[in-house]
Chain A
Amino acid sequence: DQQVKQNSPSLSVQEGRISILNCDYTNSMFDYFLWYKKYPAEGPTFLISISSIKDKNEDGRFTVFLNKSAKHLSLHIVPSQPGDSAVYFCAAIGAGSYQLTFGKGTKLSVIP
């Protein structure tokens, strides 16, 4: 059973608009969440993270929001740029665990 779910396999957004990628989790022991970005033929690269003691973390154009009661997090990219076109993975981990659990990814296409 998937503990981290990204229910949208793909998303298309116009350049300059906001991209919102969503992620849901089921394990209440998760206390740290990360987003990775992956271009074709490359490995995933770390983008941004958030601890469960926060509800928002911002880094430039990227903001991650965490709603613990809903077990939901989202990644906002604004403004979206064509170079943001990639697959975005949500991941989560619990304290003391080595197991970083990934979602299946959402493919974002930013249209010029």
Chain B
Amino acid sequence: ETGVTQTPRHLVMGMTNKKSLKCEQHLGHNAMYWYKQSAKKPLELMFVYSLEERVENNSVPSRFSPECPNSSHLFLHLHTLQPEDSALYLCASSQEATGLSNSPLHFGNGTRLTVT
């Protein structure tokens, strides 16, 4: 079992669909993150959760809605997305939230999202 598991690996959805991305970490970490990687762009931070509390919302449109029910699970709920939202969505975790310590991020393998 890898440290950070993301499902599904691939997702194709229409603009009117509602779907969710799931992330689970088995490392006992206290912080979890959603990052977005679009083609030809650097990784962009979307959300940070520390001890299940959202501590950063990086100007992300409301059509992306995160949920962190406990320190091991993180969801990203998607609704009425646009084609330009097609990207690789990466979940990560760290022992403590970045900014509180220098513990490195451990990433999952990502969900490749295509919005048609």
Binding site for B on A (CB under 8 A): 2, 4, 32, 34, 36, 41-46, 49, 51, 89, 91, 93, 95-105
Whether B102 lies near A99 (C-beta < 8 A) is: no
B98 touches A97 (CB 8 A): yes
In the bound complex, residues from chain A placing their C-beta under 8 Å from that of B110 are: 43
Q: Given contacts A102-B43, A103-B42, A104-B40, is CB(A51)–CB(B104) below 8 Å?
A: no
CB < 8 Å A-B pair total: 60
Contact A42 B109 (CB under 8 A): yes
* Minimal beta-carbon separation of B5 from chain A (angstroms): 10
Query: Are the CB atoms of B102 and A102 closer together than 8 Å?
Result: no
User: Is there an interface contact between A41 and B109, defined as CB atoms closer than 8 Å?
Assistant: yes
Nearest Cβ on chain B to A63's Cβ, whole angstroms? 17
A-B complex: 8 closest residue pairs judged by Cβ atoms: A43-B107, A46-B104, A102-B43, A98-B56, A102-B42, A98-B99, A98-B48, A43-B109
Within 8 A of A (CB), among B63-116: 90, 92, 97-99, 102, 104-110
Cα(A51)–Cα(B101), bound, Å: 12
Known: A51-B102, A98-B97, A99-B58. A43 touches B45 (CB 8 A): no
Tell me if A98 and B98 are in contact (CB < 8 A): yes
The verdict on A98 contacting B45 (CB below 8 Å), with A43-B110, A93-B99 known, is yes
